[in-house]
């Protein structure tokens, strides 16, 4: 006589067959919905979710991009094993800028070592040294401004974040002697990371040829500083020094090309996050005056007259922190995060076959009312202690999540908050443009230019 458990198993219904993610319709052969994607990728992804639910497929340039648009989908995406859903394979378009054998061109083991080299420069002790440098750079930058005037938010924030990042990460001597040249070369490389690069990273385009030449010059520039430090026996208090001192497990030190590539990874992530988020933060605070007032009150309460922002005071500025976090919800710099499926991936009864791309879109998911009440409203109080518990841990993902979460996000937050704490105490601001809209032509999405802001120096300063 069979055991009861076996009889129960015999009568249990078989599992339903796995399904293919429903496909968004429309578009052209091969191109799919690429035209709509270029115009407004977030509108396209939200259309896919509205029509087919939070697991759906979007056709682009002969590829099927499978969108996971829910917190549990995000969790499955970010927790996926590297041998099944590959970050490396999805981001090969970064190799011309970061370099061979760096980050996404390295094995997972080597990439983990390279990430480990950065940890000392991102720990709490190092962060405390960065805050005064950040505040000093911002103060020096705006000292040349007159009593009143206008600036383009993107241009100014790109300059500020390049200078502040190079001061903290590359050292004072680099910032003072090579900052302008570095900023120019870096901007050329930056323009070589765009939507075309994602699908065809070595296309015969003038911008890509300029990108490759600029990358060669950056190695020379960084190499000068490295060689000067070694020759003089000088040690810096920065990330560059951490990389000069670093050794792989086999005892080998880093080449100038590797040092440059790893620095570019860090600066690219931090610069993009900080520059566009700084621009959007100023815009959102000044088109939502009711949210600006409590931030100003908090700065007056936390910072004594004439006192520059510090690591500790920035930690006390909760209202400013909430405002930056809400800006990141509405305007995440990286609107899409990708993984290439190497082995069939199953989620909630759907199967994504090997060879396809998995997609998570912070910009689309953050606008879904299922996960954020009144999602299009700028509401920093979402992050207050009473309300933050309503947010699923994998719903707010501007920096990614899980094991691949951006390591530099604490530095980016400190940088953005220090920039605006300094600016808001020194100036009053007024928006100039009728509308501020996202620029989807860039890989990292900031406001379209011109995005002018008018300033007036406060009478008391």
Residues 76-116: tens digit of each pLDDT: 999 999 899 998 888 888 888 888 999 888 888 898 899 88
- Answer whether residue 357 shows pLDDT above 90: yes
Supply the DSSP symbol for 433.
S
Confidence tier at 433 by pLDDT (50, 70, 90)? very high
Provide the pLDDT for residue 72. Answer: 96
Confidence tier at 163 by pLDDT (50, 70, 90)? confident
Q: Are 438 and 333 in contact (CB under 8 A)?
A: no
Q: Which residue has the higher pLDDT, 424 or 194?
A: 424
Q: Are 130 and 170 in contact (CB under 8 A)?
A: no
Highest averaged pLDDT of the listed ranges 39-43, 59-63, 282-286: 282-286
Q: Are 268 and 150 in contact (CB under 8 A)?
A: no
Which tokens in the block code for residue 247?
Answer: 């050794």
Provide the pLDDT for residue 353. Answer: 95
Highest averaged pLDDT of the listed ranges 90-94, 111-115, 215-219, 360-364: 360-364
Residues, the chain:
461
| C-alpha to C-alpha distance for 189 and 210, rounded to whole angstroms | 8
| Residue 452 phi, psi (nearest 5) | -80, 145
Q: Which residue has the higher pLDDT, 15 or 211?
A: 211
Q: Are 357 and 339 in contact (CB under 8 A)?
A: yes
- Answer whether residue 289 shows pLDDT above 80: yes
CATH number for the domain harbouring residue 57: 1.10.630.10
Provide the pLDDT for residue 11. Answer: 45
| C-alpha to C-alpha distance for 32 and 414, rounded to whole angstroms | 41
| Domain housing 257 | 4-457
**What is the number of alpha carbons within 13 Å of residue 430 lying toward its C-beta?**
9
356: left (phi over 0), alpha (psi -120 to 50) or beta: beta
DSSP secondary structure of 344-412: -EEETTEEE-TTSEEEE-HHHHTT-TTTSSSTTS--GGGGSHHHHTTS-TTT--BTB-GGGS-TTHHHH
- Answer whether residue 7 shows pLDDT above 50: no
- Answer whether residue 405 shows pLDDT above 90: no
In 54-159, DSSP assigns E strands to: 55-60, 63-68, 85-86, 148-152
Q: What is the dihedral of CA 24, 27, 33, 36, to 10 degrees?
A: -110
Q: How many domains does the chain have?
A: 1
Provide the pLDDT for residue 127. Answer: 87
| Residue 18 phi, psi (nearest 5) | -65, 145
User: Mean pLDDT over residues 133-137, rounded?
Assistant: 92
Which residue in 443, 446, 438, 444 sits closest to 194, CA to CA?
A: 443
- Answer whether residue 257 shows pLDDT above 90: no
Name, in order, each residue with C-beta under 8 angstroms of 312's C-beta and a sequence gap of 6 or more.
128
- Answer whether residue 291 shows pLDDT above 70: yes
Q: Which residue has the higher pLDDT, 183 or 392?
A: 392
374: left (phi over 0), alpha (psi -120 to 50) or beta: left
- Answer whether residue 165 shows pLDDT above 80: yes
Provide the pLDDT for residue 356. Answer: 93
- Answer whether residue 412 shows pLDDT above 50: yes
| C-alpha to C-alpha distance for 158 and 177, rounded to whole angstroms | 19
- Angle subtended at Cα 97 by Cα 96 and Cα 100, rounded to the nearest 5 degrees: 55
DSSP secondary structure of 413-424: HHHHHHHHHHHH
Q: Residues 105, 272, 77, 32: is their CA dihedral positive or negative? A: negative
How much is the mean pLDDT over the chain? 88
Percent of the chain with pLDDT over 70: 95
Which residue in 116, 114, 229 sits closest to 170, CA to CA?
A: 229
**What is the number of alpha carbons within 13 Å of residue 3 lying toward its C-beta?**
3
User: Mean pLDDT over residues 349-371, rounded?
Assistant: 95
Confidence tier at 14 by pLDDT (50, 70, 90)? low
- Answer whether residue 13 shows pLDDT above 60: no
Provide the pLDDT for residue 178. Answer: 65
Which residue in 94, 224, 114 sits closest to 171, CA to CA?
A: 224
170-182 pLDDT, tens digit per residue, is 777 777 766 678 7
- Angle subtended at Cα 244 by Cα 241 and Cα 246, rounded to the nearest 5 degrees: 105
Confidence tier at 267 by pLDDT (50, 70, 90)? confident
Which residue in 386, 395, 313 sits closest to 68, CA to CA?
A: 395
| C-alpha to C-alpha distance for 256 and 241, rounded to whole angstroms | 12
Provide the pLDDT for residue 379. Answer: 98
Confidence tier at 233 by pLDDT (50, 70, 90)? confident
Mean pLDDT lowest among 101-115, 176-190, 361-375: 176-190
Which residue in 48, 44, 47 sits closest to 57, CA to CA?
A: 48
Provide the pLDDT for residue 4. Answer: 37
**CA separation (Å) from 321 to 41, 378, 384?**
28, 14, 10
Q: At what angle do helices 256-286 and 409-426 cross, to 10 degrees?
A: 50
| C-alpha to C-alpha distance for 149 and 432, rounded to whole angstroms | 11
Provide the pLDDT for residue 76. Answer: 96
| C-alpha to C-alpha distance for 112 and 106, rounded to whole angstroms | 9
Name, in order, each residue with C-beta under 8 angstroms of 262's C-beta and a sequence gap of 6 or more.
98, 102, 103, 114, 117, 118, 243, 254
Provide the pLDDT for residue 328. Answer: 97
User: Mean pLDDT over residues 212-231, rounded?
Assistant: 86
Provide the pLDDT for residue 95. Answer: 87
């Amino acid at each position: 006589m069979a055991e009861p458990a076996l009889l129960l198993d015999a009568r249990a219904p078989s599992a339903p067959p796995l399904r293919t993610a429903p496909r968004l319709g429309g578009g052209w052969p091969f191109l799919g919905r690429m035209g709509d994607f270029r115009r407004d990728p977030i509108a396209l992804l939200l259309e896919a979710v509205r029509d087919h639910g939070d697991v759906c497929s979007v056709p682009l340039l002969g590829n099927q991009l499978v969108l996971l648009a829910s917190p549990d989908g995000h969790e499955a995406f970010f927790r996926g094993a590297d041998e099944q859903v590959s970050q490396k394979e999805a981001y090969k378009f970064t190799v011309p800028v970061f370099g061979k054998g760096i980050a996404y061109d390295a094995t997972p083991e080597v990439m983990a070592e390279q990430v480990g080299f950065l940890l000392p420069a991102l720990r709490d002790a190092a962060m405390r040294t960065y805050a005064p440098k950040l505040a000093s750079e911002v103060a020096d930058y705006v000292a040349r401004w007159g009593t009143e005037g206008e600036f383009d938010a993107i241009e100014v924030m790109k300059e500020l974040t390049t200078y502040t990042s190079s001061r903290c990460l590359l050292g004072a001597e680099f910032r003072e002697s090579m900052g302008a040249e570095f900023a120019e070369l870096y901007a050329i490389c930056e323009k070589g990371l765009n939507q075309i690069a994602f699908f065809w990273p070595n296309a015969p385009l003038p911008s890509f040829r300029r990108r490759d030449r600029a990358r060669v010059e950056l190695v020379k520039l960084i190499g000068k500083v490295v060689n000067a430090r070694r020759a003089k026996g000088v040690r810096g208090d920065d990330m560059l020094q951490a990389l000069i001192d670093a050794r792989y497990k086999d005892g080998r030190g880093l080449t100038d090309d590797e040092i440059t590539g790893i620095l570019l990874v860090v600066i690219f992530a931090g610069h993009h996050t900080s520059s566009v988020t700084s621009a959007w933060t100023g815009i959102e605070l000044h088109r939502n005056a009711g949210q600006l007032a409590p931030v100003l009150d908090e700065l007056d309460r936390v910072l004594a007259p004439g006192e520059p922002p510090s690591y500790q005071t920035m930690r006390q500025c909760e209202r400013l922190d909430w405002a930056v976090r809400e800006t990141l919800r509405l305007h995440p710099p990286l609107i899409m995060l990708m993984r290439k499926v190497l082995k069939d991936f199953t989620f909630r009864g759907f199967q994504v076959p090997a060879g396809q791309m998995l997609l998570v879109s912070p910009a689309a998911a953050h606008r879904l009312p299922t996960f954020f009440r009144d999602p299009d409203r700028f509401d920093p109080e979402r992050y207050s202690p009473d309300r933050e518990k309503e947010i699923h841990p994998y719903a707010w993902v501007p920096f990614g999540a899980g094991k691949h979460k951006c390591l530099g996000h604490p530095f980016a937050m400190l940088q953005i908050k220090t920039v605006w704490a300094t600016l808001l105490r020194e100036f009053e601001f007024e928006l100039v443009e009728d509308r501020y809209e996202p620029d989807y032509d860039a890989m990292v999405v900031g406001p379209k230019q011109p995005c002018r802001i008018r300033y007036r120096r406060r009478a008391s300063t």
